[in-house]
Amino acid sequence: MDPADIEISVKDNVLTISGERKMPEVPEGARWHRNEREYGKFTRAIRLPFQASDDKVEARMANGVLRIAVGRPEEDLPKRIEIKAA
């Protein structure tokens, strides 16, 4: 797929991936005996287990694999509590 055909958004802790798989152009006169690929529009929504930071979402595509990294805002990260001696 072409990365321009994919849309990624994050809203209310839901990561949404949508796009459209387009059928490749077939040369005139070519015939297929079997076609087992799906084409058309798709949408996937994934509820995240944490509050996502809009400015920390990054997507990369290489060799047909889409990788999405979603960061958390600093105020949502766990904070280390120092133990003081009595």
DSSP 13: T
73, 10 in Cβ contact below 8 A? no
Annotated domain spans of the chain: 3-22+40-74
pTM of the model: 0.69
Q: 4-13, 46-55, 73-82 — which is least confidently predicted?
A: 73-82
Quick one: tokens of 9?
């958004």
* The pLDDT value given to residue 64: 85
The 8-class DSSP code of residue 51 comes to: P
What digits encode the pLDDT tens for the residues 23-72? Answer: 777 788 887 777 777 788 999 999 998 888 778 889 999 988 999 999 88
CATH architecture of 3-22+40-74: Sandwich (2.60)
CB 42 within 8 A of CB 24: no
